[in-house]
Amino acid sequence: MTDNHSKLEAIHQALLAQRQLLHRLDDEQASLERHLSGLSGDAIPSAPDPEQRHTLEAMQALLASLTESLSQGDAAQLLARCAAELLPDTTGAIFVDQAGVEPAPRAAAAWRGAEVLADPADLHFEHDQDPARQQLNIEAQGLYLGRIELRPLAAGRPLRDHEHLTLHLLVSAAGLALATHTLRYRLRHRNIRDPLTGLFNRRYAEDTLDRELSRAQRHQLPLSVVLIDLDKFEAFNERHGQNAGDRMLQAMSDLLQNNFRGSDICARASGQRFLLVLPDASIGDTMQRARDLRRDLAGVRVHLRGLHLPAMTVSIGVAGYPEHADTTEELLAAVDGALQLAKHNGGNTCALAEKVPLSPDS
């Protein structure tokens, strides 16, 4: 048992050494990519004992799997399966809460009879007062990432030494991997998300439009693009302040995110403009959605410092493939022209694009 304990301790120390790499990964993507190769477990010594080799291999597999782009639900299930395998005489549950990682809802998973109530924050055991019950937070790089709770299957039995060490090893590995996943997510999404609204940025929307237009052309499917502009936004900012303008943009962004399909792309194009890419959407359906959206956006209300700020109207332009254009550049020009037409007509309206004339070289 002493020899086994020493080997597990060696694994634990190796993981702690790997954890130090995370302190260099906070803000620099280049640093992140340079050090991620150290997360594979190469620094962990081999374990000749079959049982300890199994523990080592399970931890290495856990590290590799958790650093992939898993959902929080996937991460919770994976951790629970690993705990059930490495701690066969226990029952327990895992709670994962990676702040700032989508999807936002927290997740939990249990093994061998433990129950997770409707709120994942509530991990429930039949013997809640069992003195052998253990609860440890999963943390790394200053991030709270969840917690693990467990107890022996035999009520009242204390955890054995090797179970204590395996539990701490599991928590350490989970913290290392989930923190890496969280940092990866934040670094990746910092490049494609608008920091104020959380919507995609224009570059990402245009890249997506390129891909979706190619797909639409291959499969002879429709594709629509919508451009939205807040009417008299500069005057609103001058009267109520930039904070009020930011709050209005955020409120309208929330409405957009809640009113479109997962396959649709909602982006902040610039300033007070929003660009929507709607795959498989016909012009007729998109115009109707634009009219509904204009009405809904006009109903957005913002409160700031106890004041009820006035509602704002929007102008909307709509263009589509194959009706108005055949390339990304032409579609963007067409939808911009439609928006300008809506503004020219007094704002607070929707306008459909005209066919973009062919260039002399076409």
Q: What is the pTM of this model?
A: 0.53
Which CATH number covers residue 48? Answer: 3.30.450
| Residue span of the structural domain in which 135 resides | 2-190
Residue 129 counted as domain residue? yes
Residue 362 counted as domain residue? no
Considering 161, 190, 219, which residue would you say is the last residue of a domain?
Answer: 190
Which of the four pLDDT bands, split at 50, 70 and 90, describes residue 144? confident
b/e sequence 314-350, b meaning 16+ C-beta within 10 Å: bbbbbbbbebbbeebebbbbbbbbbbebbbeeeebbb
Residue 174 counted as domain residue? yes
Which of the four pLDDT bands, split at 50, 70 and 90, describes residue 156? confident
> What percent of the chain lies above the pLDDT cut of 70?
73
172/204 same-domain check: no
Considering 162, 190, 218, which residue would you say is the last residue of a domain?
Answer: 190
Preceding amide of 45 cis, omega within 30: no
Residue 358 counted as domain residue? no
Residue 89 counted as domain residue? yes
Number of domains in the chain: 2
Work out the burial of residue 306: count CB atoms within 10 Å of its CB; fewer than 13 is exposed, 13-18 middle, 19 or more buried.
exposed
151/222 same-domain check: no
The count of other CB atoms within 10 Å of the CB of residue 219 is 8
180/218 same-domain check: no
Write the pLDDT tens digit of every residue in 288-313: 999 999 999 988 888 887 788 899 99
Considering 190, 210, 226, which residue would you say is the last residue of a domain?
Answer: 190
Which of the four pLDDT bands, split at 50, 70 and 90, describes residue 340? very high
Q: Are strands 200-201 and 265-270 parallel, antiparallel or unpaired?
A: parallel
233/309 same-domain check: yes
161/221 same-domain check: no
